[in-house]
Amino acid sequence: MKRWRVVGVGLIAILLVAGCGKKDKNPAGPDTGEEENYIPYQVGNKWVYQVSPVSDQPYTVTETVIGKLKVGSEEWVIVKDESSKNPEDFTLTYFELESNRVLMHRIEDFNPDTGDTVRFDFATPAYWLPIPMTRGATWTVFQYNGPLSDIPIISSGISMDSTYKNYEADFVLNGKVITEESVEAAGKTFQAYKVDFDYQATIRIPNPPAQIPLQGKMGTFWITPGVGIVKIQLYDLSMNVREVRILLSYTVQ
């Protein structure tokens, strides 16, 4: 059974981006487009979020930069996602910073109940964020064609069991910088870029043969350069908010 928890983490995947570069001139808000350090993913940096699901009790999630991995000429940053709800369960996400964008290469989800690790390698790295971000910017995060059970971005709690074994899917995830807004988090007021992630999908059912078109919003992220993600809203298939994450505290170098 496969259990992709986010795209956030992977979108959860929740969901997060990597970056390391020069210091931001305005760490509490968007700057002039010169900054590179959108989310400072130096090793040891940490973010703690209060997670408030609509249908469950609140808990906390901690994102920690635990190391780097050299893959050929590329250097990937490794981010570990842990929650107070399932302390022994964690996800590792592998990012790479290029001069004008943040890429996601790999997601690994560990299940302590079975001891299994589900690993997904993007055939073409997912284009998570542009650098710099500007209002109105749009991009395709990734496209997928294949078994429904192997899509790496699935809403929290959905399990892909034998019911979906022969289902196929065409899936496209797009990002757009909507505007800049004030967000209250971690005892501060941040000026943040508001970024929407929307999807279009077609699910192909084998018996009886049918196609189900889907489209909607996966999540909205508020991102402050030099700090990182300060707020996330995730949506269900009916476009209702199913979960809100607010930054409680952070440690960045």
Share of the chain above pLDDT 90, in %: 55
- The predicted-structure confidence for 16-45, as pLDDT tens digits, reads as follows 333 333 333 333 444 444 334 566 878 999
Residue 62 lies in a domain: yes
Domain count, the chain: 1
pTM over 0.85: no
- The predicted-structure confidence for 71-119, as pLDDT tens digits, reads as follows 999 999 999 999 999 888 899 999 998 888 889 999 998 887 788 888 8
Residue 213 lies in a domain: yes
In order of 1, 42, 53, 99, 239, the CA distances from 137 in angstroms are 37, 26, 29, 17, 22
The answer, yes or no, to whether residue 66 has pLDDT greater than 50, is yes
Residue 196 lies in a domain: yes
The whole-number average pLDDT for the span 52-77 is: 95
As a 3-state breakdown, the chain gives helix, strand, coil percent values, each rounded to 5, of 0, 60, 35
Residue 9 lies in a domain: no
DSSP type of residue 225: T
- What per-residue confidence (pLDDT) applies to 153? 59
- The predicted-structure confidence for 183-241, as pLDDT tens digits, reads as follows 999 999 999 999 999 999 999 998 889 999 999 999 999 999 889 999 999 998 888 99
The first and second tokens of residue 8, run together, are 């956030």
Give CA–CA dist 146/167, Å, rounded: 9
- What per-residue confidence (pLDDT) applies to 216? 92
- What per-residue confidence (pLDDT) applies to 163? 63
The CATH number that applies at residue 218 is: 2.40.360
Helices (H), 195-242: none
Classify 99 as helix, strand or coil. Answer: coil
Name the pLDDT band for 65 (thresholds 50, 70, 90).
very high
Partners of 97 in the β-ladder: 102
Residue 209 lies in a domain: yes
- Per-residue three-class SS string for 118-159: EEEEEEEEEEEEECCCCCCCEEEEEEEEEEHHHCCCCCCCCC
The answer, yes or no, to whether residue 4 has pLDDT greater than 60, is no
Residue 134 lies in a domain: yes
Per the CB < 8 A criterion, the answer to whether 80 and 46 are in contact is no
Residue 3 lies in a domain: no
Give CA–CA dist 19/98, Å, rounded: 9
Residue 13 lies in a domain: no
Range of the domain at 203: 21-251
DSSP type of residue 160: B
The first and second tokens of residue 217, run together, are 């919003």
